[in-house]
Amino acid sequence: MSSATDTATATVEPTTAAPRLPSARGEVSEGVRAYLRGDASVLPDAAATERLDPYGDDLHLALHLCYELHYRGFAGVADEREWDPALLELRGRLEARFLAALREECGTTDDVTDALGAILVEPVDGTGPSHFLVEHGELWQLREYAALRSVYHLKEADPHAWVIPRLRGRAKASMVAVEYDEFGSGRAERMHARLYAELMTDLGLDTTYGRYVESAGARTLATVNLMSLFGLHRALRGALVGHFASVEITSSPGSSRLALALERAGAGPAAVHFYEEHVEADAVHEQLVRREVVDGLLEDEPHLAADVAFGIRATGLLEDRLGDDLVAAWSEGRSALRRPLDETGE
């Protein structure tokens, strides 16, 4: 699909420089931060990680710091830290706490049909952020939403790409087809991360990669960390496929509402276009993902059914909690951000 804003926004794209390290949020994230900067030679021990809330700010910022080494890295941090054995050991302990909490809450089932059925039909009385924003959203709330979602959307599709070499047959072929669309079908100006940067520009936001991590609370970071957790472990390939299916199935209706909310609030054409693009694209992707990626994977590896169902349920759990937080804050007329949009890390 060609963009109505190609000419006007041809130079807008996510800033490519490595982001700055965000401020710490506790003992463990401070320890990781100091280690990355070379200010400490050892990392927090197992006792420190065992004390962490599996859904809390300290754990999820520490995980974010570890995971981002596999994407853009950080300014002033050596590339070699990506495979630092001590960091990988710490990351494994953090992941184990997060994953155990998710598995306990999501339960165990291998009924993928039931898990998919729970998200295929939207409830009539939906209460998520897109419902709130289309009915009541003001421009400042839409800007907050865009800033928070930029933690993922400025690298949109990257975490899901990890699963491609771990699939076979029609699951792999169809996954590549969907990802090809996400990455602009061979045209840089159509990449979804680029379109999101244009949306941010229309809303007067900074397009620097990682810029709004400081503003994002644990529940935002958890939704993004989940993708990296699933993507970086071959053993969790089924869960990543479940996550991907959940995102593609639920995206189109929500995107339609967000496009209307942005238009009503007077946002620019590029802001509206990003979500209009997803209404059409994700409606097509839903069919491919369900019938080819999920069914193809389970035909090839039926023992992964429980992991696919877990990926769907874990995605819904974290997205619902984030949505509840956002709507609760906005309904009371207060910011949903940890820090104002004009604040940055050190």
Q: Report yes or no: 145 and 274 within 8 Å, Cβ to Cβ.
A: no
Residue type, 81: R
pLDDT at position 12: 52
Q: Which residue has the tokens 């790409």?
A: 161
Q: Is the pLDDT of residue 204 over 80?
A: yes
| DSSP 3-state percent helix, strand, coil across the chain (nearest 5) | 65, 0, 35
List, in order, residues 6 or more apart from 232 with CB less than 8 Å away.
67, 70, 162
- The CATH T-level fold of domain 108-331 is Heme Oxygenase; Chain A (1.20.910)
What is the pTM for the complete model shown? 0.93
DSSP letter string over 49-68?
HHTS-TTSHHHHHHHHHHHH
List, in order, residues 6 or more apart from 200 with CB less than 8 Å away.
146, 147, 150, 206, 207
pLDDT at position 295: 96
Q: Is the pLDDT of residue 134 over 90?
A: yes
Mean pLDDT throughout 44-58? 98
In tens, the pLDDT along 290-321 reads: 999 999 999 999 999 999 999 999 999 999 99
Mean pLDDT throughout 47-51? 97
Distance between CA atoms of residues 314 and 209, nearest Å: 26
Between 125 and 120, name the one with better pLDDT: 120
Question: What mean pLDDT is reported for the chain?
Answer: 92
What ranges do the domains of the chain cover?
27-104, 108-331
- What's the 3-state SS for 85-100? HHHHHHHHHHHHHHHH
